[in-house]
Amino acid sequence: MYWNKPYECMPREQLQTLQLKRLQKIVEKVFHNVPFYRQKLQEVGFELGDIKTLADIKKLPFTTKQDLRDNYPFGMFSLPMSEIVRVHVSSGTTGKPTVVGYTRGDINNWSEVMARTLTCGGATKNSIVQVAFGYGLFTGGLGAHYGAEKIGASVIPISGGNTKRQLMLMEDFGTTVLACTPSYAIYLAEAVEEAGIDLSKLKLKHGIFGAEPWSERMRMEIEKRLGIKAIDIYGLSEVIGPGVASECQEQNGLHVFEDHFIPEIIDPQTGDPMPCGEKGELVFTTITKEGIPVIRYRTRDISILNDEECPCGRTHIRMHKVMGRTDDMLIIRGVNVFPSQIESALLEIGDTQPHYLLIVDRKGSMDELEIQVEVSREMFSDKVKGLEGLEAKIKHQIESQLGLTAKIKLVEPHSIPRSEGKAVRVIDKRKI
Amino acid sequence: MIKQISLFLENKKGRLAHVCRVLGDAGINIRALSLADTADFGVLRLIVDDPARTNSVLSENGFVASITDVMAIQVPDVPGGLAAALEKMDKAGLDVEYMYAFIGTASQDALVIIRVDSIEGAVEIMEGCGINVLKEEQVYSL
């Protein structure tokens, strides 16, 4: 099943011609419209016309999350706000988040790639799709929503959380496709079991899951416990949101929708391009985006590209399920978390640099974050009420800045291990 | 005013013994003690013979400690003795943050350590009610 066979199964030679044409156009566009890109391109001595083949992409400079942050909020937009119909926001490392803007054309393209994603996952116009990704600034909910509407499925825009209601609607409405984070899928599976709901009463058949790393073991568990076929999807707001790549029914790598995004693998240290089959950092160039095109955006995600033919018939290159990160970003319950964000939240509580440790664990199916904070002299109070108030204040600060509930544990000074003077910031106990 | 040492302790095996050992090795004598605990941590409150030195010994040993002003009052060691004193505080509008009591060895009375917010006023009020508020020397040298 394809959503758009002419494009998804386009002969590679033809696809590459299309990519080259679109790449040349987008580079020209950002050169003229985005001062940031013009300056960067001029700095490396790039001239319009230098892109003669697809391999010339390596002449272009990289774009990083920091660049988006430096140009907060709209500095990287290629068009005036009058052309932007929506913005989405993703968490930043410290303070300011990164903002992306979509034109009407971008929303159409995004719906297109999400329609392909849902079709890859097994959805059709007869499906009832329960979108349990969060709706709002996060791209997950609305991305899946527009894709599902585009294919003509019936959408239940329930968003994340409220598990009891999820189960009720799933049972009563006969949901056939579930879209959410993999950890929430397991959570729902547990809730189904606890509620004593007979799987045969549910009509669930397909699941499209993403926004956080998950393993083959998790996939098997989800498939068994919910009685569905589970598909891995990939995306990031800086590129478009979900819909950058999706597994097909083969479940063997995610097809990157190459008529919209050009993927590369680079050596994260040197920035040198790496051939297919080698492990490195994923980089994307958007070749159809209008609102905020990105040139060679460094995702920090580690993967491998595979250009072998796929039995499904799609000609688009496949990326391996994300295998890790090149930075210290953690993904906890679908929320991107950088230790430095926790640090800045803590700094707003006291005046001095706090020593802290993040412990991430998966209890049952849900990620849990515990933040241990060493009590300093100025934080200390002889009243238990005062210390509990401090815990509550830290908890609230983290919640309001990161949108993540964490357990706060105050610990004695010097109890957090330090290696070579630098504290170990993260212990990730999750066995994904 | 009585100087109480307040100290943060993680609710972990051996921590209380450790702090007592540190103080013992430094020759500090604990006169009274109370431990407030939650699931994760505790606040240890100590009356010692030398608060200033205790504070520095604890800091040197990596503990977070602070000195808190508290009030020590003497109440008759009879049924209702503490009740009568607390009723007077109530009437005077004094809020007890926390308190702990012990039986003194030097007198027939019981001693109560009380933490209130506005300690200066509290001492006057207590004395006005006819309650004996102890001086520092009296408590440290118990």
| Per-domain boundaries in chain A | 81-327, 332-428
Indicate whether A421 pLDDT > 70: no
| Residue A428 Cα, gap to closest chain B Cα (Å) | 21
> Rounded to the nearest 5°, which phi and psi values hold at A409?
-130, 120
Q: Which of B43, B68, B93 is the last residue of a domain?
A: B68
Q: Tokens 């498939």 map to which residue?
A: A223
Tally of domains within chain B: 2
Does B39 lie in the same domain as B91? no
* CATH number (domain holding residue B110): 3.30.70.260
Does B104 lie in the same domain as B52? no
* pLDDT single digits (tens) B73-91: 988 889 998 999 899 888 8
| Residue B62 Cα, gap to closest chain A Cα (Å) | 7
Using a CB–CB cutoff of 8 Å, tell me whether A411 touches chain B.
yes
Using a CB–CB cutoff of 8 Å, tell me whether A387 touches chain B.
yes
Indicate whether A241 pLDDT > 60: yes
The candidate with the shortest Cα–Cα distance to A90, out of A70, A65, A109, is A65
Gap between the Cα atoms of A243 and A208, Å rounded: 11
Report pLDDT for A352: 58
Report pLDDT for A422: 47
Does B7 lie in the same domain as B34? yes
Per the CB < 8 Å rule, is B36 touching A377? no
Spell out which residues of chain B touch residue A417, defining contact as CB-CB under 8 Å: none
Q: Which of B40, B68, B96 is the last residue of a domain?
A: B68
Q: How does DSSP assign chain B, residue by residue?
A: -EEEEEEEEES-TTHHHHHHHHHHHTTPPEEEEEEEE-SSEEEEEEEES-HHHHHHHHHHTT--EEEEEEEEEEE-SSTTHHHHHHHHHHHTTPPPSEEEEEE-SSSSSEEEEEE-SSHHHHHHHHHHTT-EEPPHHHHHT-
The candidate with the shortest Cα–Cα distance to A24, out of A307, A293, A255, A306, is A293
Q: By a Cβ cutoff of 8 Å, what residues of chain B touch chain A? A: 4, 6, 8-10, 15, 36, 38, 40-41, 43, 45, 62-66, 68, 97-98, 115
Does B56 lie in the same domain as B22? yes
Q: Which architecture, in CATH terms, is A81-327? A: 3-Layer(aba) Sandwich (3.40)
Does B35 lie in the same domain as B91? no
Which one of A382, A407, A412, A414 makes the best mutation probe of the B interface by having the most chain B beta carbons within 10 Å? A382
**Burial per residue of A407-416, b for 16 or more beta-carbon CB atoms within 10 angstroms, e otherwise:** ebbbbbbeeb
Does B136 lie in the same domain as B83? yes
What percent of chain A clears pLDDT 70, i.e. is strictly above it? 96
The range of the structural domain enclosing residue B81 comes to 71-140
Does B129 lie in the same domain as B81? yes
Spell out which residues of chain B touch residue A382, defining contact as CB-CB under 8 Å: 4, 6, 43, 45, 66, 68, 115
Does B86 lie in the same domain as B47? no
Q: Does the domain made of A332-428 have the CATH classification 1.10.10.10? A: no
Q: Which of B68, B89, B108 is the last residue of a domain?
A: B68
Spell out which residues of chain A touch residue B68, defining contact as CB-CB under 8 Å: 382
Does B75 lie in the same domain as B62? no
Does B61 lie in the same domain as B28? yes
> Rounded to the nearest 5°, which phi and psi values hold at A253?
100, 155
Residues 6 or more apart from A321 whose CB is under 8 A from it?
A214, A232, A253, A254, A303
* pLDDT single digits (tens) A143-155: 999 999 999 999 9
Q: Mean of the pLDDT values across residues A66-78?
A: 95
Query: Poorest-confidence range of A300-309, A355-364, B38-47?
Result: A355-364
